[in-house]
Amino acid sequence: MPANTDYLVSPVGQIQFLALNRKVTKGMAPDSPEGYAVRIKFDSATTEGAAFKKTINAVNPNLLGSKHVDNKGEYTVRAFSKFLPEVLDATGNEIEDLPDFYGDSTGTASMIIQVYTGNSMGGAITLSGIVIHSLETSENHTGNTVTSGRDNLLQLMREKLKNNS
């Protein structure tokens, strides 16, 4: 298990959820802390993914998720912060205006691990920064800018219905 406070950088994974343009609130996600958030999917079949899973599991197995994965061996990790984390592109340049993104985006999360002593939960992860390695936006997928994930989902559903009729 890591020391009481340790820094950890994840391997590159698929970003499934990224709330940096606005904070997550209790009304949006009652089981999550309020603040900025990221959820990244990793594959434990890779060396980096397996090592990262082992580290997170040692801190707190409850921090590993399997609800939003497609294949056996995949897992997710969520990290939150009360303060806006630093967001960089793959070359290390700061991204100030983050566009809406799609789940095919990839990234790395920088986290602070806080190990609790004398507590059955084990510890927590605080998000401190994100590096976006590839950013899939609405323009990459449709040629039109879509304002939100919900709008994109509706657009994709309409296209699917149109193709099936």
Assess whether 88 and 128 both reside in one domain.
Answer: yes
Q: Please state, in angstroms and as integers, the Cα–Cα distance from residue 37 to each residue in 5, 21, 77, 91, following that order.
A: 20, 10, 11, 22
Assess whether 39 and 65 both reside in one domain.
Answer: yes
The boundaries of the domain holding residue 120 are 5-134
Assess whether 71 and 25 both reside in one domain.
Answer: yes
Q: What is the pLDDT of residues 127-139, one digit of tens each?
A: 999 988 887 765 5
Assess whether 86 and 157 both reside in one domain.
Answer: no
Assess whether 148 and 87 both reside in one domain.
Answer: no
Q: What is the pLDDT of residues 59-110, one digit of tens each?
A: 888 888 887 777 888 999 988 898 988 888 888 888 877 766 666 788 999 9
How many separate domains does the chain show? Answer: 2
Instruction: Find the CATH number of the domain harbouring 29.
Output: 2.40.50.140
Assess whether 76 and 26 both reside in one domain.
Answer: yes
Cα 93 from Cα 59, distance rounded (Å): 31
Q: Which of 48-52, 69-73, 90-94, 155-159 has the lowest mean pLDDT?
A: 155-159
Reported pTM: 0.72
